[in-house]
Structures are given as C-alpha cells and as structure tokens.
Amino acid sequence: MDIITTIALVISAIGGFIASLLGGFDALIGTLILFMVMDIILGISMSLYKHRSKKTETGRYSSEALYKGITRKFLSFFVIIIAVAIDNLTGMYIMAGDYQITVLRSVVCLFYIIYEASSILENLALLHVPLPKKLLEVLEIMRKNNN
C-alpha cells in the first residue's frame, strides 16, 4: 500500500469516527457546517474591509476574536455529541420511513443552525444587503429576546 492510500484511509477512518460521534453526516450537520463557514467568512470580511466587526471595540480584525469565535463554533459540536449520547442512552428517536431521527440531536442542531443564520442575516443587514422585511422582523425579535 502506498503512502497516499494510507493517508486516505486514515483520514477516512477519522472522518467516519467523528461523523458517528455526531450521529452521522446528514442535512442538519451539513447545513450547520455551511452556516458556520459562511458566518466566519462574513465576520472576517466585515472586520477587514468594512471595519464593522461587533467583536472588537474598533470594529477591525482581531485574531483573538477570530480564535474565540472558531473555538465557540468547535465547542458547539461537543453539545451535539452530548445530545447524540443522550439520544442513544434513552432511545429517543422517531421513525420516518426507513430513517431513524434522533430527537434531542435534531433540536440541538436546529438551535445552532438558527443561531448561525441569525448572525449571518444580522451581518448582511449591517452591510446594507436588502433582506425581506419578515426576516428583519424575526431578527429584531430574536435580538430583543437575547437581551
């Protein structure tokens, strides 16, 4: 076996292990990862080019703020792993045809997806990107509830 095949096998094994800890790689995890990446890119763009970051006093780029943000996003996957473990222990799942849907994991993933989506939409609004009025109303409600 050559080195490239060995590396591919190791990466596949690690990826499979992580996916199993997260309850599989499905639309929920895929959407969450997509939104997290979008939020990071948008946050970096706002700080570098528009100097409108909400994470620093000056609004400018800060590697410390980026590190904290990425760490927070990474740690949210620990919460998903905990939810998967609890779902497995309690057997909390719903059968949808041939698919088993874990209840707690789904709720936790949806929470983080909504959280990331609201952050993305808030940043887009700060950049004066036109957004549907209903989305802005939902953002305002979420902001008030968060405070």
Question: In the predicted model, is pLDDT for residue 129 greater than 80?
Answer: yes
79 belongs to a structural domain? yes
Q: Is the pLDDT of residue 32 over 60?
A: yes
Instruction: Please check whether residue 2 lies inside any domain of the structure.
Output: no
- What CA–CA distance (Å, rounded) separates 37 from 73? 10
Contact between 47 and 61 under an 8 Å Cβ cutoff? The reply is yes
Rounded Cα distance between 140 and 12, Å, is 42
99 phi, psi to nearest 5 deg: -105, 140
User: Is 4 a member of any domain?
Assistant: no
Average pLDDT over residues 52-70: 76
Q: What is the DSSP string of 24-72?
A: ---HHHHHHHHHHHHHHHHHHHIIIII---SSSSSSS--HHHHHHHHHH
Q: Collapsing DSSP states into helix, strand and coil, what is residue 23?
A: coil
Q: What is the pLDDT of residues 63-89, one digit of tens each?
A: 788 888 899 999 999 999 999 999 999
Q: How confident is the model at residue 28 (pLDDT cuts 50, 70, 90)?
A: very high
The total number of structural domains that make up the chain: 1
- Residue ranges making up the domain that contains 107: 25-146
Residue 11 falls within a domain, yes or no? no
Asked whether 121 and 135 are in contact (CB, 8 A), the reply is yes
Specify the pTM.
0.80
Side-chain-facing half-sphere of 90: CA atoms under 13 Å: 13
**Cα separation, 88 vs 90, whole angstroms:** 6
Better-predicted residue by pLDDT, 108 or 98 = 108
Residue 32 lies in a domain: yes
- Mean pLDDT of all residues in 82-102: 85
Residue-level pLDDT at 146: 57
46 versus 111: the higher-pLDDT residue is 111
